[in-house]
């Protein structure tokens, strides 16, 4: 380790930096169960704030929450041909409903007499169980639309896992909506996509590309998939949310028809959409630095930490009193505040502790500062310190929340812009992805075929992240020739190596 | 069915009344998976309100949320002898991590090459996985206390299930705390018990007995268990929440020691505590009537429904305008309001619809009412209607929320008091439990042995619901003789048939 914080720097080892930071910042921990994580209180408080903001957006756009079963009968996956390919492979399979004492030794074994007639799958995603239910609920156009979301855990048996980015179990929300027409489902998909963009940019402070997935990258069972894609500091893409127009595929698989206003029986149109605890990984990767986590104030579980100093009782009584008073005033402004009164930690150790955990603003209250009627305010994002008159400390600490929220977004945006390139030849393309880490976003022409996409991916590990809904530059929308095949291309698309 | 609402009356068939009401009131539905329910949007909104109130109480008492894995290695259950007896029996056992195409026919089978070395259990409760984690987190007294709660789904493979009351999968919160001393853990158990009592009585409007479980009824692995017990309208007990002092059992099973301030290595003391979606069942059983659900205003997803009337466009424009205006004013008072503008339903059908769903207050806005400058307000709990001057409607609808909250509690309390009896002989005891349904709470002397408890239960199906922490009547604390054995008894305890 190159510093005494217990994590390597990003330059030393980006991957280890991430792994160690997530644990040291008290976001998550490994568990005894392969691929499953423990989300620690600080990480969970962040997730709760994310949930609240997203849930408010969903409700403001007419959605309600519900809850569907954890288990899905195996046969349900067999109904939708593409979906089964994508989701019924690496999954947790429940085969028994009882343990019994092992007759041949110590311990417990699955009871052979309690074998399930049909295995159950722990949901990797809930389209099948939900559409099985919707088929019961929907008879007429008057039952439509259904605009339901659920907050749930899901399991996908990943072979290589990383905390938050790819875990066997993760937490997410999954929206599942039912509509009378293709156009209404399309509007829904795009409404949610805009919620996701807004959440990523305005709340997380993470700029995202908004686009359509290629056929090769779309959701198994979807008509088409929209996504938001962020860029990490090691210049890789990270898919941060997806919104799928499912067409009538699931309605057909589960025989879900409705009687239209004209009296005709028609299949229902569907969407589904989700974001997960992966967002926490994207957040860490976007903003954090070698000292630890950097949190956007709008999602931070704690906005201000106050460190009062003093070696003797009398001094401490004085600085603690001022700290408590500042805390009350800040709380009255709606901020979450902690006064760190631990008596066995040095101020420096406290600074490191709270910097690692990403608290946006620190206020230092020392006896000499008080003699001068000032306090010191430190910003977590820039490390800047300023000495502020005591009667302006509260206003400044409040003001800084908005400034930090905006500045970390602008910084990430500038980073993305500096790491987005346009290339026109295969040599330029491969050069962009040559070397460690990612190569940023590479905007290039592609002939539109899955074959070419696969060949490019095999050669460079880069994949098409999205076909932007709005061209990143006006000229991106002009036709050209594919970097790989030289065949005609309608527009540029965005390539990157991805997490 | 004796009415046109689609549910039987309580007198006709209490059990069917409950089952039908839960579905017709849009609280929950059966799913395709045995024993697993779908929680519908109205039911889930109620659960969200319950969660919010409880979560605020937990946080106000110093707790934080976290999240632990869904799966528990089989061997973890083998570590705590009593616990395994209680929880590792009827459970969902994951044995494989992949499905593959069936080589001998159509469909998918668990891949024999993907059999797990150690089966995983879908958590029936999380003590084991959490104490395995705490053992890593706790070294010193300075790491204590840990005051963590999680909101999660759990699975217990119940043979006979009922929506909300007993389902294979259910949602709950489970608190798991770690302490340096027995006394601190005891204080924690009782703090949470008081949160639960307060929530049941002040939010749900359900009076509860607060007490200690007998040895025979305590949590598997606990030192002792506290509980709150409610009474249903068919005079059965329903356990609504439990708080366990776990002693050092789990710390010993998972080798979780800490260095005390004096430098000694000691085992950690534990508590755990939980309430679940079963609370919704208790709520339905406490307050609802033959017309459907009755909701306490403090938890209702919707407080007021306004039904504007009128056959022609002009009249409707007028009543709709007044309804919208009332809705805005009520919303400004923090109430959730719906104006039911559906044009194909009669007012009567709308009344039935919202009564079934338990909305506390209905406002009827008809053209003749408007001519007289009044509107009609109907209370869901009593069915009372009153004609109110238009400019007093908002104030009255707001006032009624508090009145209904209080009245339904008082009504349930009076019912409980009318159905709590003291008996001194075995003949009286059996007579109390003779007949359909429950026999209310029967307060009687018991010799304190598990043998007697079992014998009484075998004879009458009644169990000891709790040993009240505060005697229900002063004389209950006086010694006497056991109704069954005639042996000495220190105090009266509460028996009932239970859900």
pLDDT tens per residue across span B207-247: 999 999 999 999 988 999 999 999 999 999 999 999 999 99
- Residue A127 CA to residue A84 CA, distance in Å, equals 11
| Mean pLDDT value across residues A42-57 | 98
Q: What is the DSSP string of A352-421?
A: HHHHHTT-SEEEEE-HHHHHTTEEEEEETTT--EEEEEGGGHHHHHHHHHHHHHHHHHHHHHHHHHHTEE
A408 token code pair: 């970390």
- Say which CATH superfamily domain B14-287 falls into: Bira Bifunctional Protein; Domain 2 (3.30.930.10)
Q: Report pLDDT digits (tens) over A192-231.
A: 999 999 999 999 999 999 999 999 999 988 999 999 999 9
CA–CA distance from A95 to each of A113, B111, B125 (Å)?
A: 11, 12, 20
Contacts of B317 (CB under 8 A, 6+ apart): none
Q: Does domain A438-496 have CATH number 3.30.110.30?
A: yes
Give the architecture (CATH level 2) of A304-410: 3-Layer(aba) Sandwich (3.40)
pTM: 0.96
Kind and range of the H or E run holding B244:
strand B237-247
The pLDDT tens digits for A331-373 are 999 999 999 999 889 999 999 999 999 999 999 999 999 999 9
Cα–Cα distance for residue pair A192/A148, rounded to 1 Å: 12
pLDDT for the residue B88: 66
pLDDT, one tens digit per residue, over A450-496 is: 999 999 999 999 999 999 999 999 999 999 999 999 999 999 999 99
A132: nearest CA in chain B?
A: B32
- Does residue A88 carry a pLDDT above 70? no
- Residue A457: exposed, middle, or buried by beta-carbon count in 10 A (0-12, 13-18, 19+)? middle
pLDDT (average), residues A133-159: 96
CATH of A14-97+122-287, one of 3.30.930.10, 3.40.50.300, 1.10.10.10, 3.90.1200.10: 3.30.930.10
pLDDT in tens, B423-463: 999 999 999 999 778 999 999 999 999 999 999 999 999 99
Task: Give B-chain residues touching A96 at CB under 8 angstroms.
Answer: 92-93, 95, 119
In terms of C-beta density within 10 A (0-12 exposed, 13-18 middle, 19 or more buried), how is residue A262 classed?
Answer: exposed
Taking the Cβ of residue B498 and every Cβ of chain A, the question of whether any pair is shorter than 8 Å is answered with: no
Residues 6+ apart with CB under 8 A from A367: A309, A310, A315, A318, A319
Which tens digit of pLDDT belongs to each residue from A152-194?
999 999 888 999 999 999 999 999 999 999 999 999 999 999 9
Q: Residue B486 above 60 pLDDT?
A: yes
Whether the predicted pLDDT of B82 surpasses 90: no
Whole-number mean pLDDT of chain A? Answer: 96
Among A27, A30, A32, the residue to mutate for chain B (most B Cβ within 10 A): A32
**CA dihedral sign of residues A208, A213, A216, A217:** positive
- Helical axes A182-198 vs A41-60, angle rounded to 10°: 140
- Is the pLDDT at A2 greater than 60? The verdict is no
DSSP A114: G
B94 chain-A contacts, CB cut-off 8 A: 92-95, 122
pLDDT of residue A199: 98
A99 burial level (CB within 10 Å; 0-12, 13-18, 19+)? buried
pLDDT score for A1: 43
According to the model, what pLDDT value does residue A37 have? Answer: 97
Whether A92 and B37 lie within 8 Å, measured CB to CB: no
DSSP H or E run through A24: helix A14-24
Given a cut of 80, whether residue A84 has pLDDT beyond it is no
Domain ranges of chain B: 14-287, 304-408, 420-496
Statement: residue B326 has pLDDT above 50: yes
Q: What is the ipTM of this complex?
A: 0.96
pLDDT of residue B255: 97
Q: Which residues of A touch B76 (CB under 8 A)?
A: 32
Contact between A428 and A438 (Cβ < 8 Å): no
- pLDDT confidence bin for B1, thresholds 50/70/90: very low
Mean pLDDT (whole number) for B81-86: 74
Mutate to test the interface with B, among A26, A38, A48, A106 (most CBs of B within 10 A): A38
Could you tell me if B101 lies within 8 Å of chain A, comparing CB atoms? no
Give pLDDT tens digits for B19-43.
Answer: 999 999 999 999 999 999 999 999 9
| Interface contact A91-B70, CB threshold 8 A | no
Across the range B257-276, mean pLDDT stands at 97
Question: Is it the case that residue A20 has pLDDT exceeding 60?
Answer: yes
CATH of B304-408 among 3.40.190.10, 3.40.50.800, 3.40.50.2300, 1.10.3720.10? 3.40.50.800
Structure tokens at A377: 């305010």
Q: What is the DSSP string of A422-474?
A: E--SHHHHHHHT-SSS---EEEEE--S-HHHHHHHHHHHS-EEEEEESS-SSG
Given a cut of 50, whether residue A413 has pLDDT beyond it is yes
Q: Which residues pair with A242 in a beta bridge?
A: A227, A274
Q: Which two tokens stand for residue B484?
A: 């069954």
How close, in Å, is residue B484 to chain A by CA atoms?
35
Closest CA to A5 of A381, A360, A295, A352: A352
Q: How confident is the model at residue B416 (pLDDT cuts 50, 70, 90)?
A: very high
Does 3.30.110.30 match the CATH number of domain B420-496? Answer: yes
Residue from the list A40, A91, A94 with its beta carbon closest to the beta carbon of B122 = A94
List all residues of chain B from 431 to 460 with a beta carbon under 8 Å from chain A: none
> What's residue B493's pLDDT?
98
Beta-strand relationship, A269-276 and B28-30: unpaired
Compare all CA atoms of chain A with the CA of B151 and give the residue at the minimum distance: A152
Contact A144, A109 (CB under 8 A): no
DSSP annotation string for A340-368? ---SSS-HHHHHHHHHHTT-SEEEEE-HH
Half-sphere exposure of B177 (CA within 13 A, CB side): 28
Record: contact B136-A29, CB cut-off 8 A: yes
How many residues in total does chain A contain?
499
Fold agreement between A304-410 and A438-496: no
Phi/psi for A13 (5° steps) reads -165, 95
The tokens describing B353, both together, are: 């619809």
Provide the token pair at B297: 């205003």
* pLDDT > 90: percent of chain A: 92
For residue B362, what pLDDT is reported? Answer: 98
Of B44, B65, B121, the CB nearest to A66: B44
H helix runs in A140-235, sequence order: 182-198
């Amino acid at each position: 380790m190159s510093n005494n914080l217990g994590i390597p720097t990003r330059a030393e080892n980006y991957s280890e930096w991430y792994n160690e930071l997530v644990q040291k910042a008290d976001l998550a921990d490994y568990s005894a169960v392969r691929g499953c994580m423990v989300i620690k209180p600080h990480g969970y408080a962040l997730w709760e704030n994310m949930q609240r903001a997203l849930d408010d957006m969903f409700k403001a756009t007419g959605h309600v929450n519900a809850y569907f079963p954890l288990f899905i009968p195996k046969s349900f996956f067999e109904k939708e041909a593409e979906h089964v390919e994508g989701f019924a492979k690496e999954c947790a399979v429940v085969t028994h409903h009882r343990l019994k004492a092992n007759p041949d030794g110590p311990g417990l074994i699955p009871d052979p007499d309690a074998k399930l007639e049909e295995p159950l799958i722990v949901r990797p995603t809930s389209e099948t169980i939900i559409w099985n239910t919707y088929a019961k609920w929907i008879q007429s156009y008057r039952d439509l639309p259904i605009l339901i979301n659920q907050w749930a855990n899901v399991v996908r048996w990943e072979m290589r896992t990383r905390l938050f980015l790819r875990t066997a179990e993760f937490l997410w929300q999954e929206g599942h909506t039912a509509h009378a027409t293709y156009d209404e489902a399309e509007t829904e998909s795009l409404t949610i996509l805009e919620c996701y963009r807004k959440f990523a940019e305005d709340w997380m402070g993470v700029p995202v590309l908004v686009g359509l997935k290629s056929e090769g990258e779309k959701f198994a069972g979807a008509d088409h998939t929209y996504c938001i894609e962020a860029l990490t500091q090691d210049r890789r893409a990270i898919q941060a949310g997806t919104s799928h127009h499912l067409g009538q595929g699931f309605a057909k698989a589960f025989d879900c028809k409705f009687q239209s206003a004209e009296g005709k029986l028609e299949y229902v149109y569907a969407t589904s959409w989700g974001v997960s605890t992966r967002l926490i990984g994207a957040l860490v990767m976007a903003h954090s630095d070698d000292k630890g986590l950097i949190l956007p104030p709008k999602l931070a579980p704690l906005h201000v930490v106050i460190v009062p100093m003093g070696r003797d009782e009398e001094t401490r009584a004085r600085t603690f009193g001022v700290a408590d008073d500042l805390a009350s005033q800040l709380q009255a402004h709606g901020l979450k505040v902690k006064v760190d009164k631990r008596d066995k930690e040095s101020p420096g150790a406290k600074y490191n502790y709270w910097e690692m955990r990403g608290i946006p603003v620190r206020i230092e209250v020392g006896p000499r500062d008080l003699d001068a009627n000032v306090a010191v305010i430190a910003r977590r994002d820039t490390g800047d310190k300023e000495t502020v008159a005591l009667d302006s400390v509260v206003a400044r600490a409040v003001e800084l929340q908005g400034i930090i929220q905006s500045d970390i977004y602008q910084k990430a945006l500038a980073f993305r812009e500096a790491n987005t390139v346009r290339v026109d030849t295969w040599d330029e393309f491969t050069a962009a992805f040559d070397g460690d880490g990612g190569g940023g976003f590479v905007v290039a022409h592609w002939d539109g075929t899955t074959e070419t996409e696969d060949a490019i991916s095999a050669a460079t590990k880069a994949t098409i992240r999205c076909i932007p809904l709005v061209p990143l530059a006006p000229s991106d929308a002009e036709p050209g020739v594919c970097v790989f095949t030289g065949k005609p291309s309608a527009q540029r698309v965005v390539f990157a190596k991805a997490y």
